[in-house]
Amino acid sequence: MLSVINTGIGCLLYFSAVAKLPVQTVAVVGYLEPLSAVVFSAVLLGEAITPVRLMGAALIIGGAIFCELAGKRANAKAGIAQTVRA
């Protein structure tokens, strides 16, 4: 019962806020959520941070950076293409 209520309230708050935030902010938050779960489990629950968890955190951060840079590159190319057409 607690997990159903907790998940319901969490999803309600998340999805009601998503409509009011920029897409880029929502994407970053989506990438950081699993990373924060690892950090909070280590800090609050005292779980050990293993090399596999560190690699997972690095992949999450690396993926977010890659997507951000790839998006900027695609936007820059689209801007150049529009300039050439004009």
Q: Could you tell me which residue, 39 or 83, shows the higher pLDDT?
A: 39
How far apart CA 1 and CA 52 sit, in angstroms, is: 32
**What's the domain count of the chain?**
1
pTM comes to 0.51
3-state helix, strand, coil in the chain (%, to 5): 85, 0, 15
Q: Radius of gyration of the chain from Cα atoms? A: 18
**Residue range of the domain that includes 50:** 22-85
Q: Could you tell me which residue, 78 or 67, shows the higher pLDDT?
A: 67
pLDDT of residue 53: 84
The answer as to whether 51 is a domain residue is yes
pLDDT of residue 77: 62
pLDDT of residue 36: 82
The answer as to whether 16 is a domain residue is no
The answer as to whether 67 is a domain residue is yes
The answer as to whether 17 is a domain residue is no
Residue-wise pLDDT for 4-62, tens only, equals 787 888 888 888 988 888 887 787 777 777 778 888 888 999 988 889 988 988 888 88
The answer as to whether 15 is a domain residue is no
